[in-house]
Structures are given as C-alpha cells and as structure tokens.
Amino acid sequence: MSIIKKSAVLVCLAMIMSNVASCSSVKSDSSAPSDFSAPSDSSVSDGKSSDEKKDDIVLTLAMSGDSSGIEKTIEEFNAADNGCQVQIKRYSEQFDEDGLPITQSEEESQYQDLEILQDIINTTEIDIVCNVSFTYESNYQILQNKGAFVDLYSFMENDPEVNTDTLDTHILEVNEIDGKLYTLPDFYNINTLVGESQYVGTKENWTFDEFVEHWNAMPEGSTIAGANQAENIYSVVLRSNLSGFIDYENAQVHFDSPNFKKMLEFCNQFESTNGEKGTYDYDAPNFVWEGYSNGIMASSMFNPDNGFTCVGYPSEDGNGAYFTSAGYSYSINAKASPEKQQAAWEFIRTFVTEEWQVENVIPFVEGSEVTEAYYSTELGYCVNKNAFDKIAEKIINKEYYSLTMTNKDVEYERRFPNEEDVVQLRRYIDSVNRWETVVGSSVWNIVNEEVLAYFAGEISVDECIERIQNRASIWISEQS
C-alpha cells in the first residue's frame, strides 16, 4: 500500500473512531423501520424469502471472517418461528469458485474494515457484531472500549437460563470494562508457557526476573521450545505476549517498560539467525514451551502431580497467562432499537446455553466412503458452567475419542484426564486474570521490524524500544 493510501485509511479510521464514544447514547433513526425485509443484495444471506418474514424483526450480523461454525444455528433460529430472523451481511467472500481461500491485500482488508466501521457507527444497518466481523479483530476490541455496544448484563438480569448463575462469572469478569459486559464468548482457550517441574520447579506464573533466574539454572545446551536462536526465542516468550503491553481502554502502549527491555535483552543473548530459517533441537533439555490449551483433554497439563508447571508468560505482576476466544464472541450494537437489542439477545444467548454448548463443543464429523464418523477435537472450554462439567465428565469416562492413537504407524494408548486433573484445571483457570488484547497488524509489523533490526545489530536496545514506543503510540492514538 502506498504511503498516501495508507494515510488516507488511517485518517478515515481515526475520524470514525472519534465518533464512537457517543454512539451508545445515539438512538436509532426514527425513520428507520424496526422490522425490515432482507435486502436483495447477494452479499446478505438468510433463511427465508421476504414474503415469509415480512412481519419479523430482521437482525443483521456483520461478517468478514468464516461463519460456517454458526450457520446451522442461524438456520435453526430462523426456522423456529420466534418472530425474528438473523441474516449475515458479508463484507468479503471467503472462497473462490474452486473452493480455494481468497487472500486479500492489507489495503483491501483495511478498506473493508473501514466500511464495516462506517456501517456500525453511522447507520442502523448492523445489529450484531462479533470478533470475526472484522479482518483485524483489534477493531472489535477498540469498539468495546468506546462503548459502541450494549451492556449484556442488563439482559441477563431477566433471563432465567442465561445469567451470572449459569455462566462462568470469572470468564465474564475478565471480559468486563468498568463493570460492564460488552462481549459474550462461547468458548475460550488458555495461553501459557509450560515446563517440566524437574527444571522449572512448581511455582506457577512467573515475573520477568523469575523467568531469567530459572533459565540461568538450566543445564548447558538447553533450549526454549527447542530453539536456541534470538528470533525463535523472541517468538515464544515475548511476541506471543505483546498484548500485555497494549492498553486499548486508555489508548496507551507500554513497550518502554523496563520489563520489555529485560526480555529483549534476554532474547538478544542468543545468536541471531540473520534472516535465515532457525533450527531446532528437540533432544536437548527443554526449558519451557507454549502450552496453548483448548479443552478438557489437555487438563493433565495443569496438574502438578503429572510433572508439569504452567509458568505463564513472564510479566511484571507474575500473571502473564491469558485467555483467548476459541470460537465466536458476540456484541449488540448500541445504535439498534430496544426491540432489536432484545431480539439480538435472544439470538446470541443461544450460544451459551447448556444444551447448545454440550452439543457443539466437540463437533461430530459424519463419515464418508474413506473415513469413519468421528468426534473432532474440542473447540475450547465452555462458558456455561453445567456444560463445562458435563463435557469433563464425558471425557473422563472416555465417551469421546478412541482409546488409542496412531503416530507414524505406532499405536499408543490415549491419555485421558481424571477428576483431579479437572480440579487442577479449574483452579488454574481461576488464577488467570487477563483476556487477550488483540495486537493490530500495524503494531505487529512495527515491533517485528524494529526487533529484527536490534537482533541484527543495526540499532541498540534503547533505540529499538524508543522507535517501537513512538510508532505504536501514534498508531493507538489514531484509534482513540
């Protein structure tokens, strides 16, 4: 993208974002009907003809990402004859005529997100927004911090089935902004670093200093996730945790913190790849690796009795582990009419009911001529408490998955968790107090560019940090 075009996009985004703060208090245009037929635009998909649903409330969900995971639920919701219909407004096609993924340029993606932002902020066209409404999810999180969405707690107060008694309140709380809940996830993952207790001890969730102290005690020739080069180690211990230095709520970045400098200098003590592909040694003593956990089957990782310790990502307060959305997270546009807001709640609550979560957290894949039917891997941890417990019980009882697994023609007995594993998992979940702050692609590029220059010896660590802080500060100020 040319500098002029990129600047134009950023200016437009900044202008739109500057108007978001007041959007929650803006009422829907009185001239806009509260129930309308689906537009004839082929980019909008729904389940019925205009005549069939002319008296229904029609809700529009913005979508630029993959919607395949919720299309069945939308069809069932629309067929339920409950007085409202959900349609998807697609801002881009996912696949070409041959079924191959379509790749957009950065410029195309930015202009697409700009169009979505304009529709959310300046019109009453969009009622429901989710984490895959945008190409860059950072735009979704920025809107949350600007009050563009409705506080979902207000709907839970009068909902006997979906409320703070039936949902995991800890997961809801880490998604709160000033006590308000603007987004509702269906499933979530845990992101942490893990090490063998024989090397890292049994203390969970380290500070930066504890991370370095434990590394210095490792045997000679040890690796981090199999790597011993600066770029690869940076990718594991620091780049995966860049969100810890970004604060959308206050429109600030903190790459000039002493801890960011400590970790950069730690990574730089290793040899640089000088732009070449790194090498790995998985036979050497391994310090830590990324413990991306997406389901009950991984719960043995959180039980200290099994010889592993989850140390989080090194952070100032020693709470560097974080949650990420494993499926979809939903919001209701504050500009929608009260009638539409209530209807939108009736739709999005579906995804956190006990029945829906139990049925969908482990997708069942139909068999074919060449494969047998099977259960796929878990999509994540259930936000509904009863669903979480039921899935845990089923997995402990080995109701999903085969008892054995094959790797390179060698058959192994599959390791299923036990009740204590799940207890320890629950304990660790309650110790994590951060939801991922999505790093915008612009910030990714800024940090990577300057860090690689530092590893190559082109600039000092202080110059690297100053450049990152200045450039990233400009970017986030444009979003405020």
Question: Are residues 311 and 214 part of one domain?
Answer: yes
Rounded CA-CA distance 236/263 in Å is 11
Instruction: Note every long-range contact of 417-423, with CB atoms under 8 Å and residues 24 or more positions apart, other chains counting.
Output: 417/296, 417/297, 417/299, 417/300, 417/392, 420/303, 420/305, 421/299, 421/300, 421/302, 421/303, 421/306, 422/296, 422/299, 422/392, 422/396
How far is the CA of 242 from the CAs of 28, 431, 453, 458, in angstroms? Answer: 38, 20, 17, 22
- Same domain as 273, residue 243: yes
CB of 101 closer than 8 Å to CB of 66: no
Shared domain for 218 and 310, answered yes or no, is yes
Tokens of residue 354, six digits: 């006990």
pLDDT of residue 189: 96
Domain that holds residue 73: 12-185+328-356
CA atoms in the 13 A half-sphere facing the CB of 432? 29
What SS3 class is residue 80?
coil
> How far, in Å, CA of 223 to CA of 227, rounded?
5
Is 112 part of any domain?
yes
- Asked whether residue 282 falls in the same domain as residue 253, the answer is yes
Residue 238 and residue 172 share a domain:
no
334 and 308 share one domain: no
pLDDT tens digits in sequence order for the chain, 480 residues long: 444 344 444 444 444 455 554 444 433 333 232 222 233 333 444 444 444 445 789 999 999 988 888 999 999 999 998 899 999 999 877 666 666 666 777 788 888 899 999 999 998 999 999 999 998 898 999 999 888 999 999 999 999 999 999 999 999 999 999 999 999 999 999 999 999 999 999 999 999 999 999 999 999 999 999 999 999 999 999 988 888 898 888 889 999 999 999 999 999 999 998 878 888 999 999 999 999 898 999 999 999 999 999 999 998 888 889 999 999 999 999 999 999 999 999 999 999 999 999 999 998 888 777 777 778 889 999 999 999 999 999 999 999 888 887 777 788 898 999 999 999 999 999 999 999 988 878 898 999 999 999 999 999 999 999 999 999 999 888 776
Residue 466 in any domain: the answer is: yes
Q: Are residues 181 and 199 in the same domain?
A: no
pLDDT of residue 44: 44
Q: Are 346 and 84 in contact (CB under 8 A)?
A: yes
The per-residue pLDDT for 96 is: 62
Per-residue confidence (pLDDT) for residue 479, from 0 to 100:
72
**Residue 401 located in a structural domain:** no
What element of type H or E holds 262?
helix 258-268
Q: What is the pLDDT of residue 98?
A: 65
The pairing of strands 84-90 and 57-63 is parallel
- Residue 95's pLDDT is what? 61
* Cα–Cα separations (whole angstroms), residue 44 to 48, 158, 214, 249, 329: 12, 32, 55, 33, 21
Is 409 part of a structural domain of the chain? no
| Per-residue model confidence (pLDDT) at position 54 | 56
Q: Are residues 446 and 464 in the same domain?
A: yes
End-to-end CA distance of the chain: 23
- Phi, psi of 452, deg, nearest 5: -65, -35
Burial (CB < 10 A; 0-12, 13-18, 19+), residue 439, is buried
Asked if 186 contacts 194 with a C-beta cutoff of 8 angstroms, the reply is: no
Shared domain check, 29 and 155: yes
Question: What total number of domains does the chain contain?
Answer: 2
Write the single-letter amino acid at 331.
S
Q: Is 337 domain-assigned?
A: yes
Do 181 and 201 lie in a common domain? no
Please check whether residue 385 lies inside any domain of the structure: no
The CATH number of the domain holding residue 450 is 3.40.190
Alpha carbon 242 to its chain's center: 14
Q: Is residue 338 part of a domain?
A: yes
Q: Is 4 part of a structural domain of the chain? A: no
Please give the model's pTM, rounded to 2 decimal places: 0.85
3-state percent breakdown (helix, strand, coil) of the chain, nearest 5: 40, 15, 40
Whether residue 158 sits in one domain with residue 141? yes
pLDDT of res. 477? 85
* CATH number, position 85: 3.40.190.10
| Total Cβ atoms within 10 A of residue 250 | 9
Q: CA distances (Å), 114 to each of 5, 11, 21, 119, 132, in order?
A: 13, 10, 17, 9, 14
Contact between 349 and 155 under an 8 Å Cβ cutoff? The reply is yes
Same domain, 248 and 132: no
Give the model's pLDDT for residue 103: 75
